[in-house]
Amino acid sequence: MSRLGTLGARLHRGEVGYDFITKRKIWYSVSILITITAFVGLVVRGLNLSIDFQGGAVFTTPKTSVSVSQAEHSAERASGKDAIVQKLGTGGLRIQVSGVDTAKSDQIKDQLSKDLNLKSDAINADLVGPSWGETIANKAWTGLGVFMVLVVIYLAIAFEWRMAVAALVALIHDITITTGVYALVGFEVSPGTIIGLLTILGYSLYDTVVVFDSLKESSKDILKQNRWTYSEIANRSINGTLVRSINTTVVALLPVAGLLFIGGGFLGAGMLNDISLSLFVGLAAGAYSSIFIATPLVTDLKEREQPLKALKRRVLAKRASAAAKGESLPESESAAESAADDDEPEDATPAVVGQRVQPTSRNRGRGRPSGKRR
């Protein structure tokens, strides 16, 4: 077995582990800081909406030796507006100018053909209306709202309402961070970006549900034992699924990183950045929120209940009593084993330790010293 597999098995058995729950205030602070940074980026810089949302013209050129800066300067001089130029993998250029009509588009095309030393027929010009992008955005927001409602209803039925609330907070956390990154780095927000945002919700929810399912099973009979608090069982659930979450996240991030850094960066296919950046940031944020946000938040909500508060007092009192007597409680036992031990009646006969002596049968060898049959 590999080292990672061995570590995963030891985490699952509770032999090793990291205390995520106790340090949840640190994770909350980090998340709040990142979220505030994302909001500042959205307010100060705003989103760089693509031409699909603003309307305008898109010019595509064949392979040319003209640099991106030269083409950008030429398009801005011809249109009088800001232009976005991307280098394509074929060696050509993709030039976007927002807010222009058909007549203005023809003027820009003629000017580009002169400045770039290309024939006018070689430059492909497409006009895009803003209504199409607005329709896509409105449908995306509608789909997002329906998805959120269905997720909350499902988790409330399958688990409980506290887990549904925690999962909803984690999803909002992931979307906010992803859109904030787009504002900070200045990448275009296109319909592909919206598709990426809707896609990451499923990945983010997957990791969260895996941890919640483990937590639900581990805490099924939690009130029947006096050795573990809800926080400790939640922490064991995170550690038990930690390696699985890391493996699934890394495997999902590798192809997305290829699209973002190789396809969009190295090969110059800038349109791949629209969807790959949202997937990359969203997957990483989803893995983070399922471990550091969703489960600690469930713990905070659950431990407000009176039965769990009483359980925590009993556990701490039992440990204090054991410490006063110089006894130590085994830390390697699972919560299920501890619950089974505490379910036994107090007057139960203690288990026999050491070699057992079988009782002698009453009729065995009666009247015959050797016990043999005649």
Q: d(Cα 104, Cα 305) in Å, to the nearest integer? A: 66
Does residue 29 or residue 335 have the better pLDDT? 29
**N-term to C-term CA, the chain:** 60
* In contact, 253 and 284? CB cutoff 8 Å: yes
Domains 3-48+132-306 and 56-128 fall in the same CATH topology: no
* Residue 176: count of CB within 10 angstroms of its CB: 18
Residue 366, pLDDT > 80, answer: no
97: part of which helix (H) or strand (E)?
strand 93-98
Name the H helices within 18-160.
24-44, 51-54, 68-79, 102-115, 130-158
CATH T-level assignment (fold) for domain 3-48+132-306: Multidrug efflux transporter AcrB transmembrane fold (1.20.1640)
Rg (CA), the chain: 32
Report d(CA 259, CA 265) in Å as an integer. Answer: 8
Burial of 71 (0-12, 13-18, 19+ CB in 10 A): buried
Residues in Cβ contact with 47 at an 8 Å cutoff, skipping those fewer than 6 apart? 179, 182, 183, 189
Query: What is the model's pTM?
Result: 0.72
What's the fold here for domain 56-128?
Alpha-Beta Plaits (3.30.70)
User: For 231-289, how does the pLDDT look when each residue is reduced to its tens digit (9 = 90+)?
Assistant: 999 998 888 888 888 888 888 888 888 877 776 555 555 566 778 888 888 888 888 99
pLDDT digits (tens, 9 = 90+) for 200-230: 888 788 888 888 998 998 888 888 888 889 9
For the chain, the domains span 3-48+132-306, 56-128
pLDDT for 357: 42
332: which DSSP letter?
Answer: S
Give the model confidence (pLDDT) of 287-303 as tens digits. 899 889 999 999 999 98
